[in-house]
Amino acid sequence: MSSQWRYFAMRVLLMIPVLFLVMTMVFLIMRLGPLDPVSAILGPEAGAGARADIKERLGLNKPLWQQYIDFMWTLISFDLGQSWIIQRGLSTRELVAARAPRTIWLGFWSITLPLFVGVPLGFYAGLNSNSLGDYFASFMGIVWQAMPNFWLGIMLLAVLRQTGPGGQFGFLPNWYELGPTTQSLLGTPDLGFMSIGWLAVIPIPVGFDIWVFLSALKQVAPAAFVLGSALMVTEMRIGRTATLEQVHSNYVETAKAKGLKGRTIVWKHIFRNAMIPMLPVMFSEIGVLIGGSVIIEEVFAINGLGRLFFQAVYQNDMPLAGSLVFVFTIIALLFKILEDFLYTVIDPRVGFEGER
């Protein structure tokens, strides 16, 4: 028992060097790469004097090791610095605070698809392997996976846009008038559906506007669908394999020989064992979500963190881009810790160093 938790603590401690290494890499890539924030600020025709002036102010003329220490300190102290170009002078913390909820909103609805459709489908296919349903699910899965998300996003937009009156897909329900009416497929969802009151220092929800909630959901739905669909297929396929492997294992036969009900065997015995290989897959999707949000937020014009990062890199906003990678890394590592925790809870063999 205790060896299990020692193992877990070790995994958590190991995150620190990982974070350090990632940030060093990011620093090197940015400084050694072709990013030129000075030209981005002044435009390509600026004189040498103005360039030197700006360089001085941004601290770009300091020796590289000193820049490195400044960069790392900004991150470690969670100061995160400020934007140079996109929102000049605005602190990264303010930018993140304003944009993160939209990305979280998108991410939340994205994982509902893999979690509530992909996983159950995978279990179904595994439990009914080689049935017609299994073949159908597997086939659709391959087709689905073959569509990259930026392409799927554009296709979905093209179809939805044509569902209005006179459009080529007019036979489909009009997306713009389905549920809360929306003006555009693109754009940032309005998340003001929850009014927050303060009880001393504790925030408590005091009001909830279902209509605003629904329109926020509708605004983000196509993007979430695209982002989630690739993950859904991965989870379905891994879920199928994992379940299938458990179905044919000896302990299932033992359980049957005990006279257990089929339902108990599936939910108590097979499910938990099948979750073990599923967990890392589910959590590795956090990375896919972050990476995917960069592209999808750009395609769907959602002003979230992903889009902010895309713009920061595109417009040479070095400190903003660096700080955002730091934030993404922290999020990924936190989920990694959660994964290790769940893994330790589900599988008693974790960290066991006896004879096997």
Q: Rounded to whole angstroms, how far apart are CA atoms 81 and 90? A: 9
- Cβ-based neighbour number of residue 254 at 10 Å: 12
> Which residue is associated with the tokens 């913390």?
93
Instruction: Name the residue nearer to another protein (CB basis): 57 or 272.
Output: 272
* Two structure tokens written together for 169: 């897909």
Is residue 190 at the binding interface for another protein, with CB under 8 A as the rule? no
Instruction: Name the residue nearer to another protein (CB basis): 339 or 347.
Output: 347
Is residue 249 at the binding interface for another protein, with CB under 8 A as the rule? yes
| The only residue of 206, 261, 267, 301 in contact with another protein, by rule CB under 8 A | 261
Is residue 202 at the binding interface for another protein, with CB under 8 A as the rule? no
Is residue 257 at the binding interface for another protein, with CB under 8 A as the rule? yes
Q: Rounded to whole angstroms, how far apart are CA atoms 248 and 237? A: 17
Q: Rounded to whole angstroms, how far apart are CA atoms 281 and 276? A: 10
The nearest distance, CB 219 to another protein, in angstroms, is 42
Is residue 253 at the binding interface for another protein, with CB under 8 A as the rule? yes
- Cβ-based neighbour number of residue 204 at 10 Å: 8
Strand 202-208 and strand 194-199: pairing?
Answer: antiparallel
Phi first, then psi: what are they for 203, rounded to 5°? -75, 135
The nearest distance, CB 346 to another protein, in angstroms, is 7
Is residue 204 at the binding interface for another protein, with CB under 8 A as the rule? no
Per CB under 8 A, the segment of 115-123, 195-203, 255-263, 327-335 that binds another protein is 255-263
| The only residue of 255, 278, 295, 318 in contact with another protein, by rule CB under 8 A | 255
In sequence order, the 6+-apart residues with CB closer than 8 A to the CB of 146 are: none
Is residue 260 at the binding interface for another protein, with CB under 8 A as the rule? yes
Q: How many residues bind another protein (CB under 8 A)?
A: 26
CA distances from 3 to 8, 272, 277, 303, 345 (A): 9, 21, 21, 45, 13
Q: Rounded to whole angstroms, how far apart are CA atoms 48 and 54? A: 10
CA distances from 18 to 12, 15, 164, 332 (A): 10, 5, 50, 11
| The only residue of 6, 57, 88, 256 in contact with another protein, by rule CB under 8 A | 256
Three-state secondary structure call for residue 4: helix
Is residue 237 at the binding interface for another protein, with CB under 8 A as the rule? no
Restricted to residues 267-296, the positions that interact with another protein (CB under 8 A) are 268-269, 272-273, 276
Per CB under 8 A, the segment of 17-25, 40-48, 70-78, 246-254 that binds another protein is 246-254
Closest CA to 113 of 25, 195, 228, 203: 228
What is the C-alpha R_g of the chain?
A: 25
The nearest distance, CB 283 to another protein, in angstroms, is 19
Is residue 254 at the binding interface for another protein, with CB under 8 A as the rule? yes
| The only residue of 44, 63, 166, 354 in contact with another protein, by rule CB under 8 A | 354
In sequence order, the 6+-apart residues with CB closer than 8 A to the CB of 55 are: 38, 61
Phi first, then psi: what are they for 219, rounded to 5°? -65, -35
The nearest distance, CB 343 to another protein, in angstroms, is 11
The nearest distance, CB 257 to another protein, in angstroms, is 4
The nearest distance, CB 111 to another protein, in angstroms, is 25
In sequence order, the 6+-apart residues with CB closer than 8 A to the CB of 158 are: none
| The only residue of 32, 146, 259, 263 in contact with another protein, by rule CB under 8 A | 259
Instruction: Name the residue nearer to another protein (CB basis): 278 or 308.
Output: 278
196: enclosing H helix or E strand = strand 194-199
Instruction: Name the residue nearer to another protein (CB basis): 265 or 289.
Output: 265
The nearest distance, CB 3 to another protein, in angstroms, is 11
Which chain residues interact with another protein by CB under 8 A? 249-251, 253-261, 264, 268-269, 272-273, 276, 346-349, 352, 354-356
